[in-house]
Amino acid sequence: MVSVYFLSLGRKKRGVCALAVANFSDFREERIREYLSDSELDRLRSIQLEKRQREYVLGRLTTKMALASLTNNLKFRDVSVLNEASGSPVIRAPLDHGDYGTSIAHTDEIVVSLVFQREFSFGIDIENLGRKSRSALKYIARGGETIPEDSESSMVAWTLKESLGKALKCGLRCPEELVLAQLQRKDSVFFCSYRKHPEFGGIARIYGNYSLAITYPLG
Ligand SMILES: CC(C)(COP(=O)(O)OP(=O)(O)OC[C@H]1O[C@@H](n2cnc3c(N)ncnc32)[C@H](O)[C@@H]1OP(=O)(O)O)[C@@H](O)C(=O)NCCC(=O)NCCS
């Protein structure tokens, strides 16, 4: 079952965001036509890998579930979650459903989407803590950036960087923009600021084997 949570992030509470979380078990091939628009169905037909098809479909479903929790009477087939040339997702919805943006991430069989007012920029990422090592983080570290000693914190740092890259719409292609200024841990929650982007804050939380990070606009 897709779960939806409401979040309020940022000093001035930049509106309420909605976070939706799905698992591959939520994928129902026979129901795809109920919630994908024609343009999304076209795009789906061009995807060969079954895992990627599921990620694509569930990314659209979670975004629409989150959007439906923030607006009234949303007809899922009237909404398209498309990708710009950079890969950044964009919501095309009827005007009376407001102006919202989304950020999407998938790992293993989990898909998450964050929906927020489009005048602000957010980014989300989720990673399996066992997947990447400190050496991967070193690859995208810049400017003498400190690499955390333990693999859990370095994976969290990676997840935070990727969430900033999504908020900036450059993904990991702009590593020089993604330098962490501070990474602080309190139990299973991490907080960070970004050296070149003081307008954003980052928060990450460890859930079992996963790190979930969100970059959000500050004050
Ligand atoms: C954006 C990027 C970080 C996504 O990483 P990923 O681990 O492959 O995928 P995730 O599951 O975290 O996220 C996928 C979603 O990111 C979103 N996305 C893709 N490009 C994006 C961009 N430029 N800005 C914001 N969001 C983007 C999409 O919504 C995508 O889901 P969808 O295709 O179903 O719509 C990645 O595509 C990227 O920038 N790659 C650059 C590769 C690179 O330079 N690597 C060097 C370091 S090893």
Average pLDDT estimate for 85-106: 93
Ligand 1 is surrounded, with C-beta below 6 A, by: 55-56, 59, 83, 86-89, 104-106, 125, 139-140, 162, 165-166, 169-173
Instruction: Mark residue 12 as left, alpha or beta (left: phi above 0; alpha: psi -120 to 50; beta: remaining).
Output: alpha
* Average pLDDT, integer, range 99-107: 96
Q: Please report the atom of ligand 1 found closest to the CA of residue 140.
A: 47
* pTM score: 0.95
- How large is the average pLDDT for residues 154-182? 97
Per-residue pLDDT, averaged over 154-169, amounts to 97
CATH class of the domain whose range is 3-119: alpha beta
Residue to mutate (ligand 1; options 88, 109, 126; most atoms within 8 A of CB): 88
With 70 as the cut, is the pLDDT of residue 13 above it?
no
Q: Model confidence over 54-89: pLDDT tens digits?
A: 999 999 999 999 999 999 889 999 999 999 999 999
Residues of the chain with CATH 3.90.470.20: 3-119
Of 43, 166, 173, 200, the residue with max ligand 1 atoms within 8 A of its CB, to mutate for a pocket test, comes to 166
The per-residue pLDDT for 9 is 79
